């Protein structure tokens, strides 16, 4: 795509729809590889009463993925007062929002949980912006895996702007933080929001970046599916995984602004809560054994770790 192409919301929406298709296809293939049974995503299409709708795709009890959701939506309608105020608009205006959201909970504690979101927001007033990111939540943080993950994201970012990775990596550290646990949710990744184009060429460039992020998802996660699916584990690792999923639930329900906004503004609950794990456990005041891999993981769940 050349930089003087006019990027419309239709162009972006079409890309996101296709991205959902391609990601689901890649995940199904990777999940089925070497297994007797191939599992397919189930699709629910839904309409939003105020305008627009979506396609929620979910996979349950598959080979590698225990529970996962890949959602696409394109919704529009009257902008809320809060949105109007944030843009200093005094007249009513319409919004249009489209994006792809993913959370995958693997069966094995040796395979990380992953989250991705890419989104575009446009107002009838002419304001528009992109947002998104990819972040990884390994149940066991392995330095080599973390380095590879961050290096891959850095490479994607660097193709567009050398300032992106350091800025968006810090943003992810800050966003995916659980204050009441003084832990990060996982090893972060990149997070960005309100990327507002200055002109149409800038918009084409931002869109190209968001496309690159979206396209990076399947290769990144299928890499971990292939590499880690056959690692041995037992009850202690499964117990730890279920406790870490508890923290995932705590982050998403208490702190994640997207989840809170969705639930408070009457979004489609089942699509918003596709991010919930199949099972999560809580043990009162649990502390891993000193010197254990679990304790080492906790030690690494903090902001500002330079993985690259």
**Which two tokens mark 297?**
């993981």
* Residue 9 engages a second copy in binding (rule: CB under 8 A): no
Q: Which residues contact 182 (CB under 8 A, 6 or more apart)?
A: none
189: left (phi over 0), alpha (psi -120 to 50) or beta: left
The answer to whether 221 and 104 are in contact (CB under 8 A) is: yes
* Residue 49 engages a second copy in binding (rule: CB under 8 A): no
* Residue 298 engages a second copy in binding (rule: CB under 8 A): no
**Which two tokens mark 225?**
């599916």
* Residue 236 engages a second copy in binding (rule: CB under 8 A): no
* Residue 1 engages a second copy in binding (rule: CB under 8 A): no
Which among 91-99, 111-119, 179-187, 294-302 is the span making contact with a second copy, rule CB under 8 A? 179-187
Residue 135 phi, psi (nearest 5) = -140, 155
* Residue 80 engages a second copy in binding (rule: CB under 8 A): no
**Which two tokens mark 128?**
């528009």
Q: Which of residues 121-150 bind a second copy (CB under 8 A)?
A: none
As measured in angstroms, the least distance from the Cβ of 286 to a second copy is 9
Q: Where does residue 129 rank: exposed (0-12), middle (13-18), buried (19+ CB within 10 A)?
A: middle
Inter-helix orientation angle 200-228/143-158, to 10°: 160
Check if 226 is active-site.
Answer: no
As measured in angstroms, the least distance from the Cβ of 196 to a second copy is 30
Q: Indicate which residue of 105, 115, 127, 139 is catalytic.
A: 115
Among 89, 93, 249, 298, binds a second copy (CB under 8 A): 249
Distance in angstroms (rounded) separating the CA atoms of residues 135 and 70: 15
* Residue 239 engages a second copy in binding (rule: CB under 8 A): no
Q: Which amino acids are annotated catalytic?
A: 115
Binding region for a second copy (CB under 8 A):
44, 58, 60, 67, 69, 179-181, 242, 246, 249-250, 253-254, 260, 263-264, 266, 269-270, 272-274, 276-285
């Amino acid at each position: 795509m050349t930089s003087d192409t006019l990027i419309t919301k239709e162009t972006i929406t079409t890309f996101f729809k296709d991205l959902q298709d391609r990601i689901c296809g890649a995940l199904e293939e990777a999940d089925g590889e070497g297994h007797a049974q191939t599992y397919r995503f189930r699709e629910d299409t839904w309409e939003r009463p105020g305008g627009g709708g979506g396609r929620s795709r979910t996979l349950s009890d598959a080979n590698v993925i225990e529970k996962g959701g890949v959602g696409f939506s394109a919704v529009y309608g009257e902008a809320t007062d809060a949105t109007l105020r944030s843009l200093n608009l005094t007249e009513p205006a319409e919004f249009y929002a489209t994006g792809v959201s993913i959370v995958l909970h693997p069966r094995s504690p040796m395979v990380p949980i992953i989250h991705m979101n890419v989104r575009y927001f446009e107002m009838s007033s002419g304001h528009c912006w992109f947002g998104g990111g990819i972040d990884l939540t390994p149940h066991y943080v392995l330095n080599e895996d973390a380095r590879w993950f961050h290096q891959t994201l850095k490479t994607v970012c660097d193709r567009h702007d050398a300032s992106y990775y350091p800025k968006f990596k810090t943003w992810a550290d800050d966003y995916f933080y659980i204050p009441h646990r003084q832990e990060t949710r996982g090893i972060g990744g990149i997070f960005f929001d309100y990327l507002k184009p200055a002109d149409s060429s800038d918009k084409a460039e931002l869109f190209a970046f968001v496309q690159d992020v979206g396209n990076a998802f399947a290769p990144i996660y299928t890499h971990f599916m292939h590499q880690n699916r056959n690692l041995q584990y037992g009850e202690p690792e499964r117990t730890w995984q279920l406790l870490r999923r508890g923290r995932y639930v705590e982050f998403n329900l208490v702190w994640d602004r997207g989840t809170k906004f969705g639930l408070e503004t009457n979004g489609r609950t089942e699509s918003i809560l596709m991010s919930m794990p199949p099972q999560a456990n809580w043990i009162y005041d649990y502390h891993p054994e000193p010197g254990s891999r679990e304790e080492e993981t906790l030690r690494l769940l903090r902001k500002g770790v330079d993985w690259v």
